[in-house]
Copies of this chain bind each other. A is one copy, B any other.
Amino acid sequence: VPNSAAQNLRVLRSRKLLVTVPDIANPAFAPVLQGVETAARRQRYTVLLGDTQRQSLNEEPYSIILRRKEADGLIFISHRLPKDTELLVQAAKPRCAPLVNVVEFTPHLGVPCVTIDNAAAAYDAIDHLYGLGHRRIGIIAGPTISPASRDRLRGAKRRARAAGAAGQLIVEHGDWGIPSGITAAEALLDRSPAPTAVLGFNDEMAIGAIEVARRRSLRIPADLSVVGFDDIRIARYLAPPLTTVALPLREMGEQAVRVLLDILGGKIDTPLSIALPHELTVRATTAPPR
């Protein structure tokens, strides 16, 4: 059995892919990781894992990994290029640096990304609520800096404008975590008139909204409808089961590996970004308003 370091040194290639996530404990990222891991193993690559805990500071050691050729490429779930990787992008011009974003980016900066059509997805979610008769809708968006969140906001507003009700859309921003969803939902429900429905830009923040409803003894969906984003594993087991925009998370991870290996293989004819289909999954947290 050949020694890995010697082999890597000889061929100048590590057959390792670095994956950085903002927070492993976010249940939406696990399927992405599974997809990455599966696709990587199929191509005889292994996965180096980095958890940045959403701290820019924690990204630095990982950009060093790339520069040390400890990994051949990087797949990152983040709303920004990891610290110090701009250099790599510049250095690789006019070709692609071996970086691929999943989930959080929109086509941007010459960095390939694997996403969904975020605007259309949010449009669909709001459309569902309008179809049920809701007009005053609260949105728990992600951080204002997140491209995915911005796109979703754009799609949501477009649907509201189409109904001539853009002013009826009220927005709060969270950080994707449950506690921030709680805070945002409190603010939303304190408005008057209060919204009859809340759309969270991920399931965790939607869970925050459900928690606030519970605390205020609002029945879901009778008194308040809730829609999430992602379709994490427990979404269907919440009480009541969560209506949510399902993302093909696992496949997004697999596709990210494909794109990255294409870049590494020198196939520059790779499209710069891939949008996969989403699907509104209607369960039991949405109903007509009273």
Q: Which residues of A contact B (CB under 8 A)?
A: 1-9, 12, 14, 16, 19, 24-25, 27, 30-31, 33-34, 37-38, 41, 46-51, 53, 61, 64-65, 67-70, 178, 207-208, 210-211, 214, 233-234, 237-239
Contact = CB atoms under 8 A, between A and B. Distances in A.
Contacts of A16: 48
21 contacts: A3-B69, A4-B65, A4-B68, A4-B70, A5-B5, A5-B9, A5-B12, A5-B14, A5-B69, A6-B9, A16-B48, A34-B51, A37-B49, A46-B50, A47-B50, A48-B48, A178-B233, A178-B234, A178-B237, A207-B237, A208-B237
A70 B239 CA distance: 45
A55 B120 CA distance: 38
A9 B4 CA distance: 8
Contact of A47 (B31, B49, B67): B49
A50 B37 contact: yes
Nearest to A64: B1
Contact of A67 (B1, B7, B53, B234): B1
How many protomers of this protein does the assembly include? 2
Contacts of A233: 25, 27, 178
Given A4-B68, A37-B50, 18 more contacts: A1-B64, A1-B67, A5-B12, A6-B9, A7-B68, A16-B48, A19-B49, A25-B30, A27-B27, A34-B53, A37-B51, A46-B65, A47-B48, A47-B50, A48-B48, A49-B49, A207-B237, A210-B239
Contacts of A68: 1-4, 7
A27 B24 contact: no
A184 to B, nearest CB: 15
Nearest to A8: B5
A257 B270 CA distance: 40
